[in-house]
Structure 1
Amino acid sequence: MPRIVITDCDHDTIAPERQVAAEAEVDLVLADCKDENDVLEAAAGADGLIVQYAPVTAAVFDAVPNLKVVSRYGVGVDTIDVAAAQAHGVLVCNVPDYGTEDVSDHAVALALALLRGIPQLDRRLRRGDHDISAVKPLHRFRGRTFGVVGLGRIGVATACKARALGFEVVAHDPAAKEVPEPLRGAELLGFEETLGRADVLSLHVPLTPATHHLLNTETLHRMRPGSVLVNTGRGAVVDTEALVEALERGQILGAALDVVENEPLLPPHRLFELPNVVLTPHVGWYSEESFTELKQRAAENAVAGVLGRTPHDVVSAAVHDG
């Protein structure tokens, strides 16, 4: 019987995966891997892997000759050595569109919370302070500019929702020659021009060598004064220390982060001390609907791979944002 190992999973159930595996008569095993050594031990003899955060390195592909597929819970595959997988003839799969609506909802919600000063007003009111001076000036959304970096599925969905709220939309994506049809009429700009135009800058790019610390001391300085940064993509796209310094100096108005460089973010950390920061614990992907879809499709991809079928979502070495 083919064997699939779930290397790691912090979900409260794997019932959807078990159902998919049982229907295909595939053995499914749940492990608790934290590092490469854990994965090497758990993956021994496996035909397929389903992975959440655990690293699947070149050493894993070398050590597991029967491996046919690695399926990831999520969009990004930066914890998987895709080049090594291809060299060993192993399929790498993701679930590129399960959280499109959910992450774009979260990005817009974070942006609106910042722009209306909601977290600060809430905290002050709980202390009995009804003064709004701490969040002045507030501006209406119509006529403000919402900038999106990355025009994959999530970036486009975020931009569409922002435009529906009255924002002018500008976007940057080095791979795009024109804006996608749903954003027809929006401006496609260079990166630095987007930084200078956007009142809200929302990041939707994968983590690659080219995007690591895309927002750093220099590029943060080029953002429009009074603007806010939203990151629901990958934490390391933003240099955390540079962001903290930009916020402390008032270089930008605020930041809303669902992802950070080193997760989980734990106190004490300077981000927790800043009143103009909104933090959520990497939950932008979550809704009950997306949760079930993610688990089923990750399992279906793995099952298809171990049975010699073509999975629905196969990732190539050139990985793009969902």
Structure 2
Amino acid sequence: MSDADRLVVVSDDPRYDPERLRESLGCRVEPADLSTPEALRTNAADADAVVVNVGSTVPRSVIEELDLTVVARGAVGLDGINVSAAAEHGVQVIHVPDYCLEEVADHAVGLFTALARGIPAYADRAAAGDWDWQPPYPIGRLADCTVGVVSFGPIARRFADRVLPLVDDVLVADPYVDDAVIREHDAEPVGFDALCRRADHLSVHAPLTEETRGMVDEDAFDALPPHAVVVNTGRGGVVDEEALATALADGSVAAAGLDVLAAEPPAADHSLFGRDDVLVTPHAGWYSAAAERDLNDAIAGDLARAFRGEEPRGLVDPDADWL
């Protein structure tokens, strides 16, 4: 098949640049709604490859029905994509694991430090004419605190490197990373339960898998101290959001900063909205102009490699432990 005959259907998510993909690949590139399995079946019926968004679900049934060679996602996480079914049907799954490492690490540090100092609540007070320094929730000294990091991939390692000069100690829970690697970042490897018992604050960077779904739950919040800030820039489903809302309401933890939620976009009446102890951003941690450019270049490059019969740099191993 010639390049001109191929069809790539790309999600109408604004992070993707169809014109850039078209110029790079020399084939037909059509934007379309790919947000649901039904939309995939309808809008990618003739596609050779699809580029789906973060929230798209690509189940076994879609992989079996469509005649795809590649499923690509412009993100690190693969939740919702049936990678094993794709492998069974000869469909390559591609992700982009390294385009926004600096940005997400910076975002996590920003959420953590802002909330640990009570800045969003103080700013809201001042804007409302309430000139009051009294803390909105328990606030400790950053230099005296211990930060617990859940999962220790490339983003979490950058977060740890950034936050360590600000705090007393960093603990890491990740059973898939060698202790020696964790210690190379001047952090202490511990189990998840011990991390929750010993940490003052928690930063979650885990991918969403059956093992991690809901792992930051009521028990975890009960183990944390009442001044704890909980940050999640990994995947929304890793944190039990209802348990978090309850923990905030009863004072088990102090504040939460979330760039990811279990359902995106969330309902307007989500239980974590409208609180001065919660800071929610719209899955924007990945963004910078440079990251957006790198994302589209990486997808275009890997699609081109796949079409040439070469191994894409972001090819997903269906047997990887973290899936």
Q: Taking structure 2 as the reference length, what is the TM-score of the superposition?
A: 0.92
Deviations 1:29-76 (A, max 9, x none): 2111232121012222322111113222212221223x2111111111
AA paired with 1:242? A
CA deviation map 1:180-232 (0-9, x unaligned): 27844321011111111212200011100111101112222122332110001
Structure 1 regions of 5+ residues with no counterpart?
Answer: none
Checking the alignment, whether the CA contact within 8 Å between 1:107 and 1:158 is kept in structure 2 is yes
**Count of aligned pairs between the two proteins:** 318
What amino acid sits opposite 1:109 in the alignment? G
Higher relative contact order (CA 8 A, sep 6+): 1
TM-aligned CA distance change 1:316 to 1:12, over 3 Å: closer
> The residue matched to 1:128 in structure 2 has which SS?
coil
After TM superposition, the structure 1 = structure 2 runs for residues 203-222 of structure 1, keeping only pairs within 5 Å, are: 203-222=204-223
Alpha carbons of structure 1 residues 181 and 254: separation in structure 2 relative to 1, 3 Å: closer
Query: Letter of the aligned partner of 2:290 in structure 1?
Result: E
Q: Is the 8 A contact 1:7 1:42 kept in 2?
A: no
1:71 aligns with 2:72: yes
Residue 78 to residue 12, structure 1, CA distance change in 2 (3 Å): closer
Matched AA of 2:64 = D
> Which runs of at least 4 in structure 1 moved beyond 4 Å after TM superposition?
318-322
**TM-aligned CA deviation for residue 164 of structure 1:** 2.7
Superposed CA deviations along residues 159-183 of structure 1, whole A, max 9, x for unmatched, are 1100132441111101123142784
Q: Structure 2 stretches of 5 or more lacking a match?
A: none
- Partners of 1:247 and 1:181 in 2: how far apart? 30
1:132 counterpart residue number: 133
1:55 counterpart residue number? 57
Q: In the alignment, is the contact (CA less than 8 A) between 1:8 and 1:54 conserved in 2?
A: no
**Backbone CA RMSD of aligned residues:** 2.0
Q: 2:8 aligns with which of 4, 9, 16?
A: 4
Q: Counterparts of 1:35-184 in structure 2 under 5 Å?
A: 35-52=36-53, 53-65=55-67, 67-135=68-136, 138-180=139-181, 183-184=184-185
What is the rounded CA distance, in whole Å, between the counterparts of 1:95 and 1:215 in structure 2?
A: 26
Whole-angstrom CA distance in 2 between matches of 1:181 and 1:241: 31
**Amino acid of the residue matched to residue 63 of structure 1?**
E
Cα distance in structure 1, aligned partners of 2:307 and 2:101? 27
SS at match of 2:135: helix
Cα deviation for residue 78 of structure 1 reads 1.2
Matching residue of 1:19: 23
User: What is the aligned-residue identity percentage?
Assistant: 36
d(CA) in 2 for partners of 1:115, 1:318 = 39
Choose 194-203 or 246-255, whichever is displaced more.
Answer: 194-203
What displacement does 1:8 show?
3.9
